[in-house]
Structure 1
Amino acid sequence: MPAASRGPLIVAHRGFSARCRENSPAAWQAAHACGADAVETDIRWTRDGVAVCFHDVDLMRLTGMSDRIAETDSAVLDEIALAGAAIAPRFDDFLATLPPSVQLVLDIKDERPSSLERLLPMLAGIPAARLVLGLHRAETVAALRDATAARILGFFDDPDHEDTFLERGGDVFRLWEQHATPERIARIAAKGLPVWVMCGGDGTGRAVGDIDGEGMRRLGAAGAAGLLVNDPEAARIAVRPNAAKKEMVS
């Protein structure tokens, strides 16, 4: 990934989801085109064991349909379109959309043992250096640590749970913006864990992933190593204004 001297990594949350439908090929393409350092997507498995990119347990929020991803066959999901693309694109579509140079951040939403058994074979052909696996449970981190060389990102609810995460072999710790005080960032970073901040969300007055330019600059100054954002283009301009100007001139 880019050097820390460039400032925090800009991670496109569900792709360029401020401009395009979240977790869609258009969102992934737009994120890459605007210069995001990494593209994040959510991973779930269908009833017939196909990995798809979808955040929620069911389709209700985006379509009004109550179908649950884990109880629906992939062929059925392929036929449900929204904004010109399948509602839950397959993971293979995610890989095909982005060039091999792009860093991939996978939020593993389903951590049941049966689902984790499918995960590693699915990732076998992808260079580990390209992957960051977002995991939510300490036991999952421990279970996968010896099985993959990919970096593990801790999506833990407790902002002070870094010791448990570190003991299990985690590599990067996520904080919600409301918890990302300079003191906490410094404490976690001092233990050897880079801190990525999920912008927006509770306590900020903004939706998850939405940004505030001045707030992002403060997070960067406090030592945040990465920022998960819905608008990677605006985020890059906010934290790397000089770089953005040079690219516009060129």
Structure 2
Amino acid sequence: MPNNLTPTEFLYACSVDQSVFELRPDYRALLLVVQGLEPQATSTLADDLIARAEAQAKTLLAQAPVDQLPQISAWREAYRGFGAKPQRTRNSLEALTRRAADGLPRINALTDIYNAVSVLHQIPLGGEDFDLYDGPARLTRAVGDEAFDTASGGEIVIENPSEGEVIWRDNTGVTCRRWNWRQGKRTALSENTTTAFFILDALDPMTNDELTEVGESLSQALESLGQDVQISRRIIGAQ
């Protein structure tokens, strides 16, 4: 079912369940809806960001083991809080930082930009197709019977999250498992995406000012992917 909400309606209907804040009171989510993207756009800025991110990863990993980098360490602790084993299911930031030292994957300008921003600013960052959402995004803890579509052996399969697992979901099912570990196929970005939805996840020691700066950096980079790009945003945190 295609998303029939306006970006503003969507953002202000998105929510984080109290059970997640009980797990991590320091959690904040910066949500962006980016309209006017040109699906086939290229960007020299994406190339520059990728190069900077790869250099940043090498510098960081020369200074400390990956699991001791501040945000990666914080997310490992958060994963343990709901029973996940971070050494087996690495959050998206850790997975990208490990890969970046040897070269980030190149997919398309849209994905390359947000992967690079994630590594550069050391923040988990997910991007999805806004038009493929069924209702608003909700961060909650799983019952265990929610549907999550993923790929296995080249085929789409349906999995279920573990009970108590932190998940992003919409009205149809799970869009991302284990907070920021693996995104589903149903709402994935594609070469046809014209409106994208981004989730930037922050824990202490990242401040709200720093989170806002990351959002600005991502927004400025995405503006290179269309003549009429418009960006709506909202931060959700514990009250």
The structure having more radius of gyration, on CA atoms, is 1
* TM-score with structure 1 setting the length: 0.26
- Tell which has more relative contact order, 1 or 2 (C-alpha 8 A, sep 6+): 2
Q: TM-score, normalised by structure 2?
A: 0.26
